[in-house]
Structure 1
Amino acid sequence: MIKYPVLEPGAVIGVTAPSSGVGEELRELLELACSRLQEQGYGVVCGATAWTQDKAKSAPASVRAAEFNAMMADDSIGLVIPPWGGELLIEILEQVDFDHMKVKWILGYSDISVLLLAVTLRTGIATAHGTNFIDLRGKETDPVTAMWESVLSTASGESVLQHSSQQYQLEWGGGEPSPHVFNLTEITNWKTVGNQNVTMQGRLLGGCIDVIRHLIGTPYGDVRYFQQHYIQNEPILWYLENCELSVTDLRRSLLQMKLAGWFDHCSGLMFGRSAANRPMENYTVEDVYQELASELGLPVVYDIDCGHLSPQLTLVNGAFAEVEVRVEAEEAGGMEEGQKGRGTVRQYFRP
């Protein structure tokens, strides 16, 4: 059975950096995020690792793991949100205390998805792939990002609905400063292989493919055990996002996941938008998606609100989800242009 934490009003947020910390030169971003969340009624406790960064990590692995373990064991802390991702979270996994972990939310993405996926696969505790702490520093929060509170406040046995965004951010740091952090300038358009409307459902698992692929073959990436012991062999609905992989590396990584059995008893796949999806020769990411859909005989949806081109949905590892994507008219008369490429994700917090 999946165990779902619940975000309580006025909860204390523990900010620890199991991957990268903020560092002195960007200290004001973390300070601003702390102030914004406190204004909204949350308590905020920042660990020492949140403020430091050296040699591509916030601190040595033992220090990062100890601070994370302490926050997960502390009853006064209601949820844990790292400041952002990084590069070397995988270094701490051997020192994470999975056996004595309290049931509380961990929220983040990018390199943090290594920790999220490992925790859910090992313990059956639901984890949340979504915004990081730093991106909550704005005077306003866009509607898609703001759903993190509604999703994490959903009670076990209940459901929560999220809609695709209207616009997304094309690149970091571009354009004029925005009161809600992101510069949302590009029209969102969810797509499907075959360009047909898609409906699919299953237990959500996923993260940043660049890093979660390294869990394959380790004690922290046993998808088959998770299916058998926690979700009674229900199908898995994968969501994946590519930060930096070339299209050929993406293809290799997906094949490795397939060969490792990660796509056994799978109901479909969703891919986030990515600035890394540049063609190699004439081999495109659409070719990758088409090949995967053909090999697995499964629906593939792409360019969803997930990953490094914000905003992004809050997707809960372990939750049962129903996904609908509309890319064409189902009835005579068709759809308005603004209705095409829209999607919804309803997550059921089913044990």
Structure 2
Amino acid sequence: MIKPERLKKGDKVAIVSLSRGMLGEDWAIHKLDIAKERLENDFGLEVQVMDNALKGIDYLYWHPQKRAEDLMNAFKDPSIKAIINAIGGDDSIRLLPYIDFDVIKNNPKIFMGFSDTTSNHLMMYKAGLVSYYGGSLMNNWSEYIKINDYTKNALVHAFFEPVERFEIKSSPVCSYSQDVVLWSEENVNTPRKFYRDEKGYQVLQGEGKVQGRLLGGCLDVFIELLGTAIWPGIDEWKDKILFVETSEVDMPDYQLCWLLRNLGAQGLFDVLKGIIVGKPAIEEKFEVYNQVYKQVIAEEFHRPDLPIITNVNFGHAEPIGIIPYGLQCELDVEQRTITILEPMTR
């Protein structure tokens, strides 16, 4: 896997809209203004909004090739050092026919986003590029009031000041989908509610320490990826640590069960080293989802020994960190720690 270079002051970052084109809507453009000011003033970066990123929901829905064109142009431009996706959605898989994997491979740079951006991450993975699950423009870089301290710490140590080993610690506070502040200029001074997280990381099963390279994404999006050219084959899953999370959509427990059974039928649970599960966006789903994971993996596919740590800070509950695709990670079940064993950028 190719690891991109770290960011430094004066570097240029590109803004793309690869999923739902809401960044270009009148009611949302202030989110770009907030993020742009922070990227420029707080981090010393130059911001370039790609040509089609602000053309709105309708245009970008009907023109997935234009979304892909922005992505390819951002990779081709040698002055651009990082690419930030605006927001998730539900159809970035439609960019696949327009992706040139050689362009990505030959022009490595930081790419970040989450949720529907899972499709784009697996495009990067197929091209052999390390990419970063987390940090979308409208969710994290443009949070009202300020970037959450937990998220900012992860961004700094992933992209600006990479360290030899980075422990992905449990955040002492949490916030769920019901706590979202409506995106409106009227609310720019309204803070999101956070609560003390009494759970921390939870060990669902397994023991000892395991190491493996990270691969995964949003389970909701896996449905669109199965059977495509970017879905990893079973050999690619061998010895990996799977990271998975669910979106703010209230996924029924039976649907989660079906998705996990599909992964089991592919043979993933026989070859994985471990699993980390993101904090659910809907708090009430914590125990329900844990029961489903344990039922399917431990009972139906007979892997009660496979280490699983849940309630991890990535995905759709806040605050979130950064999960790097393809990098070496260690799970220590007894200590309930998750550690990236190498610098996240070079």
* TM-score of the two chains, using structure 1 as the length reference: 0.83
- 1:12 aligns to 2:12 (yes or no): yes
Residue of structure 2 aligned with 1:104, choices 95, 109, 114: 109
SS in 1 for 2:80: coil
CA offsets 1:273-305 (integer angstroms, 9 cap, x no match): 1145767xxx93222121234123411111111
Residue type at the aligned position of 2:232 = D
- Name the counterpart of 1:331: none
Deviation at 1:307, TM superposition (A): 1.0
SS in 2 for 1:68: helix
**Structure 1 residues 178 and 32: CA distance shift in structure 2, 3 A:** closer
Residue type at the aligned position of 2:340 = R
Residue type at the aligned position of 2:321 = L
**Structure 1 residues 271 and 180: CA distance shift in structure 2, 3 A:** farther
CA contact (8 A) 2:274 2:331 kept: no
CA offsets 1:314-343 (integer angstroms, 9 cap, x no match): 01010000123567xxxxxxxxxxxxxx64
List gaps (5 residues or longer) in structure 1.
Answer: 228-232, 328-341
Residue of structure 1 aligned with 2:309, choices 301, 312, 322: 301
Deviation at 1:57, TM superposition (A): 4.6
Structure 2 CA distance, aligned partners of 1:315 and 1:209? 15
- 1:314 aligns to 2:322 (yes or no): yes
Structure 1 CA distance, aligned partners of 2:283 and 2:296? 16
CA offsets 1:11-53 (integer angstroms, 9 cap, x no match): 2110001112212211111111111111120111012333233
- Name the counterpart of 1:125: 129
Structure 2 CA distance, aligned partners of 1:160 and 1:178? 32
CA contact (8 A) 2:166 2:342 kept: yes
| Pairwise CA RMSD | 2.9
Deviation at 1:87, TM superposition (A): 1.4
Residue type at the aligned position of 1:132 = S
Deviates more, 1:303-312 or 1:291-300: 291-300
- Name the counterpart of 2:31: 29
- Name the counterpart of 1:323: 331
- Name the counterpart of 1:348: 342
CA offsets 1:253-274 (integer angstroms, 9 cap, x no match): 1111222234442011111111
CA offsets 1:62-84 (integer angstroms, 9 cap, x no match): 11111110001111110100111
- Name the counterpart of 1:239: 243
What are the residue-to-residue correspondences of 1:165-244 with 2, within 5 Å? 165-171=171-177, 172-173=179-180, 182-187=192-197, 189-194=200-205, 199-224=209-234, 226=236, 235-243=239-247, 244=249
Percentage of pairs with the same residue:
21
CA contact (8 A) 2:130 2:324 kept: yes
* TM-score of the two chains, using structure 2 as the length reference: 0.84
- 1:266 aligns to 2:272 (yes or no): yes
Structure 2 CA distance, aligned partners of 1:261 and 1:182? 41
Deviates more, 1:290-299 or 1:247-256: 290-299
- Name the counterpart of 2:54: 51
- Name the counterpart of 1:334: none
**Structure 1 residues 99 and 344: CA distance shift in structure 2, 3 A:** same
- 1:152 aligns to 2:155 (yes or no): no
Structure 1 CA distance, aligned partners of 2:223 and 2:269? 13
Residue type at the aligned position of 2:93 = I
Residue of structure 1 aligned with 2:291, choices 269, 283, 287: 287
SS in 1 for 2:52: helix
Residue type at the aligned position of 1:148 = L
CA contact (8 A) 1:170 1:186 kept: no
Residue of structure 2 aligned with 1:60, choices 59, 63, 69: 63
List gaps (5 residues or longer) in structure 2.
Answer: none
